[in-house]
Chains A and B, each alone.
Chain A
């Protein structure tokens, strides 16, 4: 499975869009990009995933570059409740689903 690189932490003002980047330069053709978040010590919460095309759901948008070597998770209007650790995961073999260190997003009033 491809390794991912994310910034350790990011700040975002409440009400503004939060853009969380992820590099996955070794991604292979059959690997999906998944995003999860974890608030305090709760179970990781699934946000969105994609293969090639950009995706949008009620929580967020996922932008994947054309070469698939990086992606960006966009929370369009961040709230204080979006403060969490966000994990970008690239997975092809579903038996192994690796969570890295993630990005700590701090949403500030």
Chain B
């Protein structure tokens, strides 16, 4: 089944403890992206990647890192999490940047930083 898989679904951690949220897609998609969703603010883009080894900042990149060493994986790294990064995170992928290719989303990771 074609899908975007995020892990873990739920994560509770403490301030400053490095963590990684994994994202994998099995559709051979070139484009991948991370979003966070907060009440009243909608979905905001954190980072995106147009292909392997090509990443760029979205609208809210501060405090996050990403890497794209393989086409299928796009992990989100929080080097020193803080409580303001408590949020619902979504990974998404698309076939390419060609106009018309829709985004496919994972089921989300709910992160709580205490």
Contacts and interface: CB of A to CB of B under 8 A. Distances in A.
Contacts of A101: 42
A87 B29 CA distance: 23
Interface residues of B, number: 29
B interface: dominant SS = strand
A25 B58 CA distance: 25
B108 A94 contact: no
B88 interface: yes
Interface residues of A, number: 22
Nearest to A91: B99
A92 interface: yes
B50 to A, nearest CB: 8
Interface of B: 4, 31, 33, 35, 37, 42-43, 45, 48, 50, 56, 58-59, 88, 90, 92, 94, 97, 99-108, 110
Interface of A: 30, 32, 34, 36, 41-46, 49, 51, 92, 94-102
Given A32-B99, A99-B35, 12 more contacts: A30-B99, A32-B100, A41-B108, A43-B106, A44-B43, A46-B102, A49-B100, A49-B102, A94-B31, A95-B50, A101-B42, A102-B42
23 contacts: A30-B99, A36-B103, A41-B108, A42-B107, A42-B108, A43-B90, A43-B92, A43-B106, A43-B108, A44-B43, A46-B102, A46-B103, A46-B104, A46-B105, A51-B99, A51-B100, A94-B31, A96-B58, A98-B42, A99-B43, A100-B42, A101-B42, A102-B42
